[in-house]
Structures are given as C-alpha cells and as structure tokens.
Structure 1
Amino acid sequence: MARWSAWAAAFCVVAALSAGLPTDPETRAASAPAKTDEADEDSPEVMPEGQGRDETFYACVGCHSTMLIRRQGMTEAQWSATLDFMTERHGMPKLEEPDRTLVLNYLARTYGPKPSTRPASPFLQKLN
C-alpha cells in the first residue's frame, strides 16, 4: 500500500507542475524571456572599446559567443595558453603577429582577473 501511495504522490506532483505550463505555441512564445542586449552578440560593440576589440571579436566568435570570453577573467599568460589551446586542439586559425599580440593584449587588459567579491573571512588573521 505504501508503494502505491508513493507512486500516486509522485504522479500528483508531476501533474501539478505540468498544469502551469503553456501548451500552445503562441502562449509559449509570449512567455519566453525577452531578448536582451546581452544576447545580441552579432557585432563587436558588445565588447568594451579598445585597441584590438574588432580583431578579438572576429578571431573568437567563429566558434563561440562573446559571453564565454567576457566571463573568463584570466591573466595574460592564461589567455596566451588559451589561444594556443584553441589553435592546437580546436582548429582555430593561428593568429600571426601583430594580430596575436593585439588580441592577447586586448583580452588581458579587458578581461583580466576579477577582484574577489567575497568578504574576507573574519576567522583569518592578517599577516604583517
């Protein structure tokens, strides 16, 4: 009997959750999240201005969105290793000089390491 009650309860939960979902295409389209500027990544303008922005955009968006780039926060050495990795493992066309330096400098300057937003632990002592 307990087994039957568990199945009945699970069915009720699934039915209740599905009841609120729209089934017709018009309602689903109307309830879809609105397209934001964040999602509009078809031009270099989604990236901060700076020397190398256009070169960086066109070198990277052939394979992935700029959102992936903008979230990284890596050092220049990490960006350099990432460019090498993309070329060697994923078939990205090799960036020749001066384009490689231009792209690398833009990435390191614009998407460098991010400062921590977490407060320091009150249990850690300051070392002087």
Structure 2
Amino acid sequence: MQRWTLWALAGFLGIAPALGQNTFTPREESPEEFVAAPGREQTFYTCTACHGFKLVAQQGMTRAQWEDSINLMIRRHNMPPLDEKDRAAVLTYLEAAYPPRAPTGRGGWQNPFAK
C-alpha cells in the first residue's frame, strides 16, 4: 500500500505544475507583427488569452463568420463574453485585417472553422 501511495504522489507531483496553468502564454508573438489597424492590440490580447494569434491570422472570414467563431468559442470553450464595445472593436479589426481569401488550387481553400 505504501508503494502505491508513493507512486500516486509522485505522479501527482509530476502533473501538478500543469494543473496550475489556466491560460495560454503567447511565445514569440507581439501585436506589431500583425496587420496594423485600429483594434489590433485589443484583438491580439483578447485572442491570445487562449491561443496563439497566428491561428487567427491564418483565417480569412467575413464579419459574420468572425462573429460565429467568437460565439462558438464562448459557447464551447468558455471564452468570457465581450461587452458590446469590445466585441465591435474586435470584429471591426478582424474584418479589416483578415477578410475572406480568394480560393486557390484544386477546390479552393476552405476555412475549417467556418463550417
């Protein structure tokens, strides 16, 4: 029984540091690396609370699709809802900086999050 307790304690101590990390920490990214437009910093810091901004910058969506994406993150991933003013600033930036892309290649590029 003592041996099992020691193994369990060792296992918990091995994962304990990971349990305390609730937020994503952006690595090697800064707002200045992305499209300059009003709302860039606010959008950058809103998005990087959970994931890298490069993920955002790879997308290309309409305002309605960006809004659907935010709603999905609120609903499925517990993103804190943005107040009306902040939501408008983020959506305006995303719409201007990362609009839909023209299809390329066979069948065209399709955003996997827009489905």
Q: Using structure 1 for the length normalisation, give the TM-score.
A: 0.58
How far apart in 2 are the matches of 1:46 and 1:99? 21
Matches within 5 A, 1:45-56: 45-56=32-43
Aligned to 1:28: none
Matches within 5 A, 1:1-128: 40-41=28-29, 43-118=30-105
Gaps of 5+ in 2: 1-26, 107-115
How far apart in 2 are the matches of 1:48 and 1:40? 16
The structure 1 segments of at least 4 consecutive aligned residues displaced by more than 2 Å after TM superposition are 116-119
How many residues align structurally? Answer: 81
How far apart in 1 are the matches of 2:51 and 2:103? 26
How far apart in 1 are the matches of 2:72 and 2:103? 26
How far apart in 2 are the matches of 1:91 and 1:117? 34
Deviation (angstroms), 1:72 = 0.9
How far apart in 2 are the matches of 1:70 and 1:63? 15
Aligned to 2:23: none
Deviation (angstroms), 1:97 = 1.6
**Greater relative contact order structure (CA < 8 Å, 6+ sep):** 2
CA RMSD between the two structures? 1.8
AA partner of residue 28 (structure 2)? D
Residue aligned with 2:84, SS: coil
Percent identity between matched residues is: 45
Gaps of 5+ in 1: 1-38, 120-128
